[in-house]
A and B are shown apart, each in its own frame.
Chain A
Amino acid sequence: MNIRVDKLIFNNRNFTLSVERLEFESGRLAAIVGPNGAGKTTLLKCLAAIHPLSRNTVFFGRQDLAGLRLAERARLISYVPQEHSPIFSYTVRDFVLTGRAAHLPLFSLPSARDEAAAQEALEFVGLEPFADRPYSQLSSGERRLVLIARALAQKSQVLFLDEPTTFLDPKHEWQVLEFVSKLAGQKGLTVLITLHNMDMAVKYSDSLVFLKEGKVIAAGRPDDILTESLLQDVYDLPMKIVACDGRKLIVR
């Protein structure tokens, strides 16, 4: 599913996000990067229509996102929030099952088909053995995977992840990003993530969007746009790009 942004403007008190034009290709992984407060999460929430959206600004394929009902949107987009700790301790299975809400009428229970979708999602992230454990007792890394599993159970075509790797150790960070890039590559999902780790963003993403103070500074394939002067502009900090084992590493 192709995503096209056209003259998107979002105001929130003293912050304005304004995107002239932006496109995300189907089946690819795009990373939104930039300093704190640049509007990364806001952009993601606008694209997911979690923030109110005006008509003719965001298109999924040929559909205007603002014209869709909530359940229709949720069948199109899954949104993985930053880590959270719920009050009630659902089992991992019950937690993942809530991803099926958009597929179920108001007064109904999940059917065997929904249970199967949840099961499949849990197996995909490798957390099937944890299915009957309480979600609240999992580690940070495991919780991220459960959140991703819930998004998968939603069976949408687009996946948004808000900083899926903060607070994770290098191994879990790697694990989560491997999953996410597999979702774009193998399952053909269009994936958008916000990230702070530039090295990871360069390694895993097919395209990068640099945000600063609510504006897009640069967007495109990492190889095409990544320069030391761009990094300096965005982060106000001198950085060097170093080649190592065929990869680009960013050094401060």
Chain B
Amino acid sequence: MKEIRRKRRTWLAVGLLVLPFALFFLSLNVGSYPIPLRDVGKSFLSLIVPSLRSEVPPAVRDIVLHIRLPRLLLALAAGSSLAVSGAALQALFKNPLVNEYILGLSSGSAFGAALSLVFLGRAFPPQAGAFIFGVAAVLAVLFIAGRLEASLVSLLLTGVIVSAFFSALLMLVEFLASPYALQSLFYWLMGNLALAGWRDLALSLPIMAVGLLLLFLLRWRLNVLSMSEEEARALGVDVRREKWLVILAATLITAAATSVAGIIGWLGLIVPHLVRMAVGADNRAVIPLSAALGASFLLAADAAARSLTSIEIPIGIFTSLIGIPVFLALLKKSKKVWL
């Protein structure tokens, strides 16, 4: 019985890890202009074998390599980042409700993006504004709550208050904005992968890659850090130093993901829970599987958003509309404790 359960878990884990890559390649041929997998393959190969260039129409090649590839890479990286930062922070703060957005990142990013879209025009990319203010908001929350020594309640409370402050600033900017700037701001706020090009990814992808790698390497350490601070210290862990490392990595990847993809809610909260329900609390499994499930989730939502309707529904709306019912259904179905 125990053996069967363990085997089932292993297969589940393997399946979850393969899923994003399968979805990635399938998604390359889905969209308003379906492209057969054969042409997708040829477009890729033509990068290495120039003689294949003549076999695919240039338009197809452009769609695959310059529109869909960056977009799907972004979905992959952003989905992993949001889910992994959620999982890491939940372990670190010993609270299953925490994610970066609750620490003020989303409202900070929204304000930053709005500021640059409305006042700075094209000279200053909204991604940079979103990134800077997203990180600033989290740092402000941590600083005000008392440099990490604070109790969780005061941290969350500070998060809520700082979020409210940035929301007010956002409304002020919106109030002053032209209708044209407002439209692109709303589009960004709803979460959107469609705007991603290689130029946007040049900076954000490496940041996400480095942060994800850091948290991946720290995955067992998170088990120790999820004990009480006193306990972790008695186990020989320099909690203060390692806490900063985790928070820094989690904040950077979430800010990088949010700045390019917009605000994609709930992913960072829900995905780690689904993973814990399936495989238990050990972060050695939770971190990589959260990355895989988060990426799959965003890829699938993106594919659905692109193919189900003729107008693209922004992905932030889509993830919330699909994710929350799925989560609630699983929550109701699974009677066992997974936390």
Contact = CB atoms under 8 A, between A and B. Distances in A.
Nearest to A87: B94
A78 interface: yes
Nearest to B232: A101
Contacts of A88: 91, 94, 226, 276, 281, 339
Contacts of B339: 87-89
Decide if the interface of chain A is mainly helix, strand, loop or mixed.
mixed
A70 B221 contact: no
B46 interface: no
Nearest to A74: B236
A108 to B, nearest CB: 7
A50 B276 CA distance: 31
Given A106-B242, A136-B337, A91 B236 contact: no
A107 B230 contact: no
A172 interface: no
A25 interface: no
A102 B236 contact: yes
Interface in B213-234: 217-221, 223-224, 226-228, 230-234
B235 A98 contact: yes
A78 B94 CA distance: 22
B282 interface: yes
A174 interface: no
Interface in A77-103: 77-79, 81, 84, 86-91, 94, 97-99, 101-103
Interface of A: 45, 48, 50, 70-75, 77-79, 81, 84, 86-91, 94, 97-99, 101-104, 106-110, 132, 134, 136-137, 154
Interface of B: 2, 91, 94-96, 217-221, 223-224, 226-228, 230-238, 242, 276, 280-282, 284, 337-339
29 contacts: A70-B233, A70-B238, A72-B236, A74-B234, A74-B237, A75-B236, A81-B228, A84-B231, A86-B94, A88-B91, A88-B94, A88-B226, A88-B276, A88-B281, A89-B280, A89-B337, A90-B280, A90-B281, A97-B223, A98-B224, A101-B224, A101-B236, A102-B237, A103-B236, A104-B220, A108-B220, A134-B280, A154-B235, A154-B236
